[in-house]
Chain A
């Protein structure tokens, strides 16, 4: 039988560490607006419930394979708690704003680099007398357009044939 008195301090230590890291994470993602008074409040009940349940089960259970099942249950709850916490943090205007800003910065930085790289590659391929990606894409686009034209002709022919079929019995 596991001794509950030796396990509890371990859980307390773990819980403290967990709470601190989660609080730091929440602070990081929610930098844009003023932080709420207790940023950890929304996930605390879920986490506490999971930890307490596991601690209780762990303290009451002999060393059987059931322990593995309980560990799995605890892990599921722990992941679920994290999932809910992350979900709630990401479902905020602050997070969306932060992500949008990050993406904008990335696009602003990326656009000239991408353009320059494409130009360099195109020039290099031209020197080597090889077709560039842009040229190949243009050819592929022409094939797509050609296919589309054929389709339209097929449709028109189909419609004409249908009209002729209707006329024939007369």
Chain B
């Protein structure tokens, strides 16, 4: 093989032909060079493959069934052994990105983990919004869509109660829904990296401050927030992210498994979703600028939203290096609810690596499933 011949050439070049006593002192160095050269060749091969024959990564492979659809939103049920009676409704963020990150690839999927653990898992996919959805508001999500989704989960599973797990923006939306509908039979609530106290929300909080950002003028002028603008906002949060991502790709380009994971994650990371205009107006105005949810001043669809009305068991999970929803703004839920059974855990990782990737499979997923299992 060309690879071995090249390595042999390097060895002969470094140590001469068969001169045993000369080879001994540099044997480790030669081995390192061989490994490095093998990696260089594999890097070149993978780079060529990525450029000339890019493969569309297969994502979202866990078998699922569409239970219900409402406009762009879909409710999916994932196959499981169902060893726990209480179904789990997963509510991700609306807009920004697609939810297949939670079922990215076999062996690296939160959905796969939860179904393997026996949870009757339902995922709400808010969908990709167009200009016709510009009137969709937070009220619609909290008062119309989420109650309907929970009803459909209960109908489909035949259970009397359900658990709700909100991730990122899905957590404050779910918390608002639970607080506005205390009659809903929710057995457990999990907030994963979901901001609650928006006075501690970091860079976005500062940039969207009403002194500097006029949300009404913004929405009145451009209508929906286009995907490219959402992308620009998130890229600006961490301007060096692309540089470090590409550096790490080059460094690990010899590793086929890394490249496979990179392709899947890269597809997701570059697939941004637009925000409906009215939703964005209300989201920024009520949550970021006025912090109404945490201050107990939110009213959706005429219903007052008080977090203190949430009394079911609550688990809050924050990520140590989360710059989108810093741990302190996530943790605030613990003090705001009236539940007696409540836990807060702070895990290593950032906003995405909390729930996706190898670190998540070691730290986060077992923690969430372990907390939910005895309560389900």
Contacts and interface: CB of A to CB of B under 8 A. Distances in A.
B22 interface: no
A151 interface: yes
Contact of B206 (A83, A93, A114, A147): A93
Contacts, number: 81
Contact of B209 (A62, A96, A137): A96
Given A99-B207, A140-B130, A140-B132, A104 B214 contact: yes
B286 interface: no
A165 B323 CA distance: 52
A90 interface: yes
A52 interface: no
A65 B148 contact: no
Given A79-B244, A96-B209, A100-B212, A141 B203 contact: no
Contacts of B71: 144, 147-148
A111 interface: yes
A141 B132 contact: yes
Contacts of A104: 214, 217
A163 B285 CA distance: 41
Task: Classify chain B's interface size.
Answer: 35 or more
Interface residues of A, number: 37
Interface stretch (A7-15, A16-24, A36-44, A68-76): A68-76
A144 B132 contact: yes
Interface in B270-293: none
Given A90-B236, A133-B131, A151 B212 contact: no
A103 B148 CA distance: 38
B97 to A, nearest CB: 21
A110 interface: yes
B222 A83 contact: no
A151 B206 contact: no
B258 interface: no
Contacts of A147: 70-71
Contacts of A99: 207, 212
A37 to B, nearest CB: 23
Interface stretch (B28-36, B52-60, B162-170, B342-350): B28-36
Contacts of B148: 151
B244 A76 contact: yes
A65 B36 contact: yes
Given A137-B132, A144-B133, A107 B222 contact: yes
A151 B239 contact: no
Interface in B230-284: 236, 238-240, 243-244, 247, 251
Contacts of B243: 79
A129 interface: no
A5 interface: no
B213 A103 contact: yes
Given A68-B36, A96-B209, A141 B70 contact: no
B288 to A, nearest CB: 12
B4 interface: no
Contacts of A123: none
Given A86-B239, A151-B148, A64 B32 contact: yes
Given A100-B214, A110-B222, A144-B132, 14 more contacts: A62-B29, A64-B32, A65-B32, A65-B36, A75-B247, A76-B247, A83-B239, A86-B240, A91-B206, A97-B212, A100-B212, A137-B131, A140-B130, A147-B71
26 contacts: A64-B32, A65-B32, A66-B32, A68-B36, A76-B247, A79-B247, A82-B240, A83-B238, A91-B203, A93-B206, A96-B206, A97-B211, A100-B212, A103-B218, A107-B217, A107-B218, A107-B222, A114-B222, A133-B131, A137-B130, A137-B131, A140-B131, A141-B132, A144-B71, A148-B71, A151-B70
The 9 closest A-B pairs by CB, nearest first: A100-B212, A140-B132, A65-B36, A83-B240, A65-B32, A111-B221, A96-B212, A107-B221, A137-B131
